[in-house]
């Protein structure tokens, strides 16, 4: 069975959106289809099981959180 999920992150401006998109892009290749639209970072997840989707989503949110915190420190 194929399972699909979409996770959307919304930011205050396009600059931080692009930073997070570019930072996660290398790690997402082959696992997550991601795009930027306005201030939104949109991720499409595909998997064969709910466990796979949950593990991918957990990794994505963890990495996004770290990048967001680091970018706040740099300001």
What are the tens digits of pLDDT across the range 53-73? 999 999 999 999 999 899 888
Evaluate whether 13 touches 65 at the Cβ level (below 8 Å). no
3-state secondary structure of 65: helix
Note whether 56 and 32 are within 8 A (CB).
yes
User: Is residue 29 scored above 90 in pLDDT?
Assistant: no
**CATH numbers and ranges of domains, the chain:** 3-70 (3.30.310.50)
- CB 75 within 8 Å of CB 13: no
Q: How far, in Å, CA of 27 to CA of 37, rounded? A: 20
Question: 5-28 pLDDT, tens per residue?
Answer: 999 999 999 989 999 999 999 988
> Measured in Å, how far apart are the chain's first and last C-alpha atoms?
44
């Amino acid at each position: 069975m194929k399972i699909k999920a979409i996770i959307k992150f919304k930011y205050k401006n396009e600059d931080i959106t692009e930073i997070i998109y570019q930072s996660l892009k290398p790690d997402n290749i082959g696992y997550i289809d991601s795009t930027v639209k306005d201030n939104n970072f949109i991720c499409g997840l595909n998997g064969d099981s709910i466990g796979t989707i949950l593990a991918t989503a957990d990794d994505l949110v963890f990495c996004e959180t770290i990048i967001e915190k680091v970018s706040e420190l740099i300001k």
